[in-house]
Amino acid sequence: MNKPLRRIALFCGLLVLALLVRDNWLQYVRADELNTRTENRRVQIERYAHERGNIIVDGSAITGSTETKGSDFKYKTTWKDGPMWAPVTGYASQAFGATQLEKLNDSILTGNDDRLFFDRTLSMFTGEKKQGGNVVTTLNADAQKAAFKGLGDKKGAVAALDPKTGAILAMASTPSYDPSVFAGNSINTDSKNYNKLKADKDEPMLNRALRQTYPPGSTFKVVTAAAALENGLYTDVNAKTRSPLPYYLPDTDHLPLDNEGNIPCKNATMMVALQWSCNTVFGKISADLGNDKMRAEAEKFGFNDPKLDTPVRAAESVYPTDNRPQNAMDGIGQASNRATPLQMAMVASAVANDGKLMEPYMVDSLQAPNFNVIEKHEPKELSRPVSAENAQKLQAMMENVVQKGTGKNAQMQGVTVGGKTGTAQNGVHNSGKPYAWFISYAKTADGSPVAVAVVVEDSKATGPDVSGGGLAAPIAKDVMQAVINSKK
């Protein structure tokens, strides 16, 4: 072969080699990147070419699929009672992606998870259409209905747990929204509905049970009482405390800590102090223990944990590093103390479970399209904030609150209820409407099947009617009753 032909052959060989290298680079090295690019519409078309799997509550699907009109995305997700379940499921939209359980379990629901490879392969030979798997939740449908109905047109949230396992039984947030109204990709309807919801000042798409923190108010006094018992400041809940009236905040001689009304708080026992919700007693307990001990006890209950997953990530509840007067206020659930409703349900849950705090979780199992279980959650202990002995003392105090104190509206026939009310101050110089709180648990002959936290952020109530006992306790009662009835 002469020299010019050799050069041409060599050049052509280099071109072929470059083509092979480029082809392999695209198919193997950049495959995932190209598959996930928004410009690659074929991936999106395939994603919506078959029905999405469902989210299951009490054995029934609360989501479904329907065909999309006027789009090459064939199927979109639908919801049954969308506003009630949206705080649990999140949304799945052809135009706006997915959130919460819909997003975290997207690979299972679309059928693209590696664990479903056998199902996908089998369907190729059987001719069956591709299907997504299912997400089986821990939710109790009756409890969720009671929570959502109880909140009604009030702005607020409910979180309910099974103290023995940590299973989330209810998670309601109002105002809410229907994810079905923007599940497609129409500019005229779906985009319009989505943008309207995002612009709503009441934030209907915010999951207040998980993602909103509030000053917990007097419900936090249960944690302060636990700190007093665990640190040996007081060991007898029926012994008088060293709590003068008036009581001035530490390092001040002119800032008295007031109680709500003329109530018997001077040197009151912790039992009486929780019954009447004495700010002076629990503020002084917090001051006497100091910020380090108070913060350590709060953290045993789950405060200051930025990575609490249910599997949806919860906002961090905060017991702050604070100076002495602020720490006294933190001890009664004010100042910079902030908590989610889930966090305060965890407090009630740990007390009800004799001091053992279980990790909260919302997904019981993941199913293949043929309903075979491919992953099962195992309950896990998170911490032990109090000893069993001290937990039982706290139970006696919380049950006394419902029997004789501010939580009477949560009383249930034939059931022992422990609870604590709270009315948390809100806004600069307390200019906003207070938040009404109630945390509780129910106890039957078989133990404590449910612990609940309710916060009402805003309602039509005014003046003295804005209280944890008046607004939040009846909702908690209905949720607890729903759980008990469902187990009969």
Backbone angles phi, psi at 375, to 5 degrees: -155, 135
Which residue bears the tokens 């309601």?
Answer: 172
Q: Any idea which residues carry the catalytic annotation?
A: 218
Sheet containing 155-161, strands listed edge to edge, beginning at the edge strand earlier in sequence: 168-174, 155-161, 447-458, 435-444, 416-424
Omega cis (within 30) before 369: no
Please state at what angle helix 473-486 crosses helix 141-151, rounded to 10 degrees: 160
Which three-class secondary structure state does DSSP give residue 450? strand
φ/ψ of residue 18, rounded to 5 = -65, -40
What is the Cα–Cα distance from 154 to 455, expressed in whole angstroms?
A: 10
Pair 114, 366: CB distance under 8 Å = no
* Residue partners of 345: CB distance under 8 A and separation at least 6: 159, 160, 161, 360, 439, 451, 452, 453
d(CA 106, CA 128): 21
The answer to whether 104 and 163 are in contact (CB under 8 A) is no
Please say whether the dihedral angle defined by the alpha carbons of residues 56, 60, 63 and 69, taken in this order, is positive or negative.
Answer: positive
Q: Which of 303, 274, 484 is nearest to 393 (CA)?
A: 274
Neighbour tally for 198: CB within 10 Å: 12
The secondary structure of 377-399 as a DSSP string is: ----EEE--S-HHHHHHHHHHHH
Nearest residue to 447 via CA among 474, 416, 478: 416
Beta pairing class for 435-444 and 381-383: unpaired
Rounded Cα distance, 305 and 316, in Å? 6
Question: How far apart, in whole angstroms, are the C-alpha atoms of residue 474 and residue 463?
Answer: 18
| Beta pairing, strands 134-137 & 55-57 | parallel
51 and 134 in contact (C-beta within 8 Å)? no
List phi, psi (to 5°) of 437: -120, 155
